Amino acid sequence: MKISVSSAPLTDIKKDAVILFFQELENLLPAGNTKLAKQVDALVKTSPFKGKAGQTAVFPMNGKQIIVTGIGEPGRFHHALLEQAAAAAVRTGKAAGLKSFAMASTIKLKGLSESDYHLLAGRGAAWGTYSYDINKSDAKKAPACSLAFCGKVKSRNAIKTAEAQGEALVSTADVANMPGNQATPESIADWAKKMAKETGLGCRIMNTAALEKKGCGGILGVSQGSAKEPRMIILEHKGTDTKAKPIVLVGKTLTFDSGGISLKPGKGMGWMRYDKCGGMAVLAAMQMIGKIKPATPVIGILGAAENMPGSNAIRPGDILTAYKGKTVEVLNTDAEGRLVLMDALGLAADYKPQAIVDLATLTGACIVALGSSASAILGNDQKLVDTLIKNGELAGERLWQLPLYKEYTDDMKSDFADLSNLSKSGGAGTATAAAFLQEFVPDDIPWAHLDIAGTAWLESPKPYQAPGATLFGARLLAQWLVALD
């Protein structure tokens, strides 16, 4: 979506629709729009619109459409609601055949800076243009959409960032939503290589031979039951700060997870195309970084593999050797993500980074604990954890910290190897999985783990998005990395 700034008043702007935000029934138009506010308020009073989060309504006015969109109750506002309201408004407009939109350059919302408003509303509007229909035989190319912020703007940096991030989200979403027969480890590697070339990132792909030479027994073990070979995808933004150590982002990228021999129930297994969403968040974040080009060097690592119950698949009781030599007893082949990540984290540590952050749709226990309202964060460095939580709030992606006690590490010990991939007690699944991962990160490197199992995709439609990948994590990573400059 092309996002611009216009000096024209909202009432005069030559666009198909004007988007207005409401907090319940309070119009959030800034000062100077008294006549428009009165006209819209009069229309709202006679409609079912109550300004609830994600609720929209359309009113014809003076040759254009007015789309009102709600952010909900004043006492329960968080940044995601504004982004979702913008996305819902554009989706509503697109459904009505509208292509060009306008918003006020500021918003009357306490505690929200102008730059935050531009980033959230602009990025949300871009996300609202997206639909996944490439596999529909009657799909037509969607017309290009545009958005203008009307009025004085102090700085256009946030608007440029919103446009860049929106483009990255929309383009990555197609890969994230593809089924396992289309989004294979090899095809994702090819897409990453093409994206890297377009955005000025470095790209290195490790195939089976390279992984074997390196001794990455985790990702090789997970993939050995599949006809699809694994790939370790490494993207690099060099940055301009030559003295800075890099940040390394690691994403679990299981292109399809059947559970392996520890087969998942058939009901709902089709959603396991989204077990790659940790890697998709890293892929989108790296594209954002490639477009925005912060000073800090950033490395993105995607461990891409397919977990299938083929004749050569790993068995419960098998022992795998991770990169750098630790051994792991496989108690359940459906706890495969951590086996891929143990190699990726070892490779991440080789960069001697200032921090490592991994993202993974790792445990069903996280969904039980937090549902779809927040992702879990655990780590070995409280400053890093606090920083990511803060940037998540600003980016509209909420994190909730869970503890990482020594008892959880003890619970992952094996009688036959250094570690097992499942806890002995069966409890605290999210924390014990994180404790397992911690064993592959040197103590002197700050590290955080984000379990995005409950937030990575939607199984039912929302006003702001159809079912599919949310790319949760990409926004907060970009927010954090840009703030480091």
One-letter amino acid for residue 347 of the chain:
L
Place of tokens 């940055």: 239
Beta bridge pairs of residue 319: 329
Architecture of domain 170-483: 3-Layer(aba) Sandwich (3.40)
Neighbour-count burial of 130, counting CB atoms closer than 10 A to its CB (0-12 exposed, 13-18 middle, 19+ buried): buried
What is the CATH architecture assignment of 2-155? 3-Layer(aba) Sandwich (3.40)
H or E segment at 392?
helix 382-395
β-strand pairing of 399-401 with 375-379: parallel
C-alpha to C-alpha distance for 93 and 104, rounded to whole angstroms: 17
Q: What is the pTM of this model?
A: 0.97
Within 224-363, residue ranges assigned H as helices are: 277-292, 337-349
In this structure, the strands spanning 298-307 and 247-257 are parallel
Report the alpha-carbon angle 54-95-396, nearest 5.
30
Alpha helices in 59-101 (DSSP H): 79-95
Q: What confidence score (pLDDT) does residue 143 get?
A: 85
Task: Provide the edge-to-edge strand list for the sheet that holds 447-451.
Answer: 202-206, 231-237, 298-307, 247-257, 355-360, 447-451, 375-379, 399-401
pLDDT at 46: 94
CB atoms within 10 A of CB 28: 20
Dihedrals φ, ψ of 150, to 5°?
-100, 125
pLDDT, residue 140, reads 83
Cα torsion angle, 278, 185, 1, 4, sign: positive
Nearest to 90 by CA among 127, 120, 53, 117: 127
**The dihedral formed by the CA atoms of 385, 431, 402 and 283, expressed in degrees to the nearest 10:** 40
- Dihedral angle sign, alpha carbons of residues 161, 162, 163, 165: positive
SS3 label, residue 442: coil
> Cα separation of 312 and 232, whole Å?
21
What is d(CA 332, CA 340) in angstroms, rounded to the nearest whole number?
14
Mean pLDDT by 10-residue block, N- to C-terminus, for the chain (485 residues)?
95 96 97 94 97 97 95 96 98 97 96 96 98 91 93 94 98 98 98 98 98 98 98 98 96 98 96 98 98 97 98 98 98 98 98 98 98 98 98 98 97 98 96 98 98 98 98 98 90
Go through 273-284 and write b for each residue having 16 or more CB atoms within 10 A of its CB, e for each that does not.
bbbbbbbbbbbb
Residues of the chain with CATH 3.40.630.10: 170-483
Alpha helices, DSSP H, located in 396-463: 406-410, 429-438
Q: What is the pLDDT of residue 142?
A: 81
Cα 197 to Cα 290: distance, rounded to the nearest angstrom: 10
Query: Six-digit token pair at 54?
Result: 């994600």
pLDDT at residue 19, rounded to an integer: 98
Residue entry with tokens 């998942």: 264
Give the residue among 31, 68, 30, 32 at the shortest CA–CA distance from 50.
Answer: 68
Q: In whole angstroms, what is the distance from residue 261 CA to residue 316 CA?
A: 8
Using an 8 Å Cβ cutoff, are 150 and 26 in contact? Answer: no
- Across 141-212, where does the E strand assignment appear? 146-150, 202-206
Binding site residue list: 252, 257, 275, 334, 336
Q: How far is CA 346 from CA 24, 218, 247, 324, 353, in A?
A: 49, 11, 14, 7, 12
Q: CA-CA distance, 19 to 17, in Å (whole number)?
A: 6
Helix ranges, 75-184 (H): 79-95, 114-128, 157-177
Catalytic residues: 264, 338
CA distance 161 to 165: 6
Q: Cβ–Cβ contacts within 10 Å for residue 135, how many?
A: 10
For residue 97 the two structure tokens come to: 């055949």
Residue ranges for the known binding site for Mn(2+) are: 252, 257, 275, 334, 336
Q: Which residues pair with 359 in a beta bridge?
A: 251, 450
pLDDT given at position 309: 98
Residue 62 is predicted with a pLDDT of 86
Cα–Cα distance, 33 to 11 (Å, whole number): 9
Q: What pLDDT is attached to residue 141?
A: 83
